[in-house]
Structure 1
């Protein structure tokens, strides 16, 4: 019996109390980015048909910051209306006390997943969320345009800016007035934390708060990285990038109006969709480094599924969580959405490689991806991130210099830390 069948059999089995399991209705809160929500609907439908249980989907906003705020309110109130939560990789330390320990229930399958991702969802020895898919951003580039102008994908951010400006200017002169060199996520939200962490870490400027809890953000290399990004606004990136999240950047890119884009891997499948102006015209490579000799930095992302300790149907909720995180479901997600599996063996799967040729190349990126400092800052991470993205956004928009904003940020983080995280 394969993993999915064992998981589904659990739902129709006799509960430990000795009473036959009756059909239950549970709910899952899931985000609405891209085609992910439709995929969840399809998989939930399979789960319902094979188990007799009903699953209601509570659609959440695409902004992870807004989603987290709503989760925190529901869980603090002991909400019993939501049984399963789709969770960002950084939320485990903040919400651990509100979730069921999945260690025992997943012991038959958890060993298939990348150890680093399992560790990110383990708090005080308690597995608080089941890995569903992981992510690390890539640099998307217009292969046709780089070939047209005899350019290579950039290895550094400086090379990116130079190549982007050169191609942008030449394409505009040829009549493509709306094209830009580079689009990214510059809005004041969690996505900007990810972008800016990549700029700073790849420049040797640290990781905001280090693993030992030390606040490292106020340094010259970090300031230089932010000054570099500020120089993009209005030159190779539109002023509107200061309000872009993932989908706004993808919209510019997918209509053919950008040479480069920094985004998560879910956009690969969408870019090759039937309605895409750039289908078959682009490639992906790892993000650039800050300078020669310094490794690039890709922020570790991804989503997991957790069971609320307030759920009245925890057994059914756990079965759904295992089903959504199973090898079969992850393979479908990889093939259909280009979402990256958390199960290492799927990177060697011939069907996955055939559907997503770039995916096997990403396996080593996950082994060295840069985590956000959620483990170090624990329950205070969200405040740390908000203060960080605020300082970065001020810099990009011209409110204070990078050096001034990082000096102020250090003071704010020191005050927030107090006697310890």
Structure 2
């Protein structure tokens, strides 16, 4: 991509500081210079491709990537701590799609003038995750929804012609496969961290319920919420979910699926790339497929995921940071990253791009899942809300509380946090 085009895009974005400069650190006269990108650990190695292109073109405004911890909760904690002390250590921050309200309300990231961006080019559900009270604070970069990874070879050997659409079908398919092979049935992410909030929200939504209703209040005293939690609790009790999965986050679950220890696995889009590697790191390459998550009575409802890019309110090189946002979320950079990583990107056009669909055949399935996905609770006190969910749901999965007891406790705890 011509660097002049980045500069043009960045110049437009520079106008975006709709609220002016925030207090916290004094920017230099140009607002330009080297910047630091706070980014989660990216296991495919694709990130270097787009950063290297930028750095070769802008040697005086190089981007340095600082890896955040692997777990989402620890990522958020580090970003929050830096923002609370008004640190200028990070210029561009990578925000989980559900953190926008918290970071915007606390003025830790700068507002963006949406008129300076081609907002119509982004997937609408993804764009909304970057908004707070009608204003844009973060630009969608990665997006996605949970997918069901499954072993095509084992289903075929068991005489099963398609992946399960309902929870009952999933359980029945496991029983058939286990007659010919000893293997773990199904697992998502159940450790006491952000992934548990995601998986619980999906289970409730896939049973027809919701954690937070349209008015912003908790809605956990419903039969649907109970059925969702019971699916997870009963899965651990009857062995559908291996006991070891109580400690699963994305990466250890992914590794077990790729080692051939799971028949079905709920995870994000990037696993399509790592599971398909033919360098010996994956034992399931060429022997797996993807499908939408199953639900109680039909296809399930995934949690809308993704990562957005925002400019720290305490950056001293905001103009460069804005240029980089324009570049990283532009079509050429997104396509380069998507081809190399299998992460689902935020631009609608990429889901029908011939090169991408050929390289990542799962994209049509992912698009379908994204279009039907729901976000996690979008609340200012998100950190407190997700901590309460993790505590009470983990207690139920661990057998320390019954499903009804856990939901009643969670309903009471979320009430004050969502007012």
TM-score under structure 1 length normalisation: 0.89
TM superposition outliers: structure 1 runs of 4+ over 4 Å: 2-5, 8-13, 19-23
* Distance verdict in 2 for CA 1:56–1:163, change over 3 Å: same
The answer for the alignment partner of 1:388 in structure 2 is 389
Task: Report the equivalent of 1:283.
Answer: 289
| Alpha-carbon displacement from aligned partner over 1:59-100 (angstroms, at most 9, x marks no partner) | 101111111111111111111111110111001000012111
Name stretches of at least 5 consecutive residues in structure 2 with no aligned partner. Answer: 16-27
Partner of residue 198, structure 2: 194
CA positional deviation for 1:132: 0.8
Question: Partners in 1 of 2:80 and 2:32 — Cα distance?
Answer: 29
Q: Report the equivalent of 1:41.
A: 48
Flag the structure with more relative contact order, 1 or 2, with Cα contacts below 8 A and sequence separation at least 6. 2
Are 2:240 and 1:236 aligned?
yes
Equivalent residue for 2:25?
none
User: Deviation string for 1:164-213 (max 9, x for gaps)?
Assistant: 233134302xxxxxx21112111011111111111111112x22111211
Q: Deviation of residue 12 (structure 1)?
A: 10
Match for residue 56 of structure 1 among 46, 54, 64: 64
CA distance in 1, matches of 2:101, 2:334: 24
Give how far 1:265 is off: 0.7
Q: Deviations over 1:138-160 (max 9, x none)?
A: 10110000000111311101211
Instruction: Report the counterpart of residue 259 of structure 1 in structure 2.
Output: 263
Counterpart CA distance in 2 for 1:373 and 1:12 is: 34
1:98 and 2:97 aligned: no
Q: Does structure 2 conserve the Cα–Cα contact (< 8 Å) formed by 1:141 and 1:260?
A: yes
Give the alignment of 1:272-421 within 5 angstroms.
Answer: 272-274=276-278, 275=280, 276-292=282-298, 295-374=299-378, 378-417=379-418, 420=419
Deviates more, 1:217-226 or 1:75-84: 217-226
Distance in 1 (alpha carbons) for counterparts of 2:417 and 2:229 = 23
Report the Cα distance in structure 1 between the residues aligned to 2:408 and 2:219, rounded to whole angstroms: 11
Structure 1 position 8, deviation (Å): 4.3
Cα displacement (A) at 1:113: 0.6
List per-residue Cα deviations over 1:27-81 (Å, max 9, x = no partner): 110001422xx32233222111101222221110111111111111111111111
* 8 Å Cα contact 1:8/1:51 also seen in 2: no
TM-score normalised by length of structure 2: 0.90
Instruction: Give the CA RMSD over aligned residues.
Output: 2.2
Structure 1: give runs of 5+ residues left out of the alignment: 173-178
- Report if the CA contact (8 A) 2:144-2:366 is conserved: no
